[in-house]
Amino acid sequence: MARSGRKHIKIEAPIMKIQGAYVWMDKEWPTKFFDWLIKEKLNKKLSGMTQMQNKLKLHFVTAKDCTVFGLKYDKAKIFRT
């Protein structure tokens, strides 16, 4: 959950840093995640992204957009198999 006033949030993601390069450990994860962002109309509110070890840091235009993402994001529903 995003804290009030913050413009960024960290989420768990299947990504690893190997020899200085980031590698997705699940090839379907980014496709499902970014399709979900588009479906929820959050893609235009995203201002940037930082890849980290086992995490993805998402930067939003406003703190309100970050809070809305935190409320809507449910990993279990998006990545259901």
**Cα–Cα distance, 26 to 73 (Å, whole number):** 19
In eight-state DSSP terms, residue 3 is: P
Q: Structural domain boundaries of the chain?
A: 8-78
In eight-state DSSP terms, residue 81 is: -
For 25-79, the pLDDT digits (tens) are 999 999 999 999 999 999 999 999 999 999 999 999 999 999 899 888 888 777 7
Tell me the three state secondary structure of residue 71: helix
For 26-37, the pLDDT digits (tens) are 999 999 999 999
Phi/psi zone of residue 4: left (φ > 0), alpha (ψ -120 to 50 degrees), beta?
A: beta
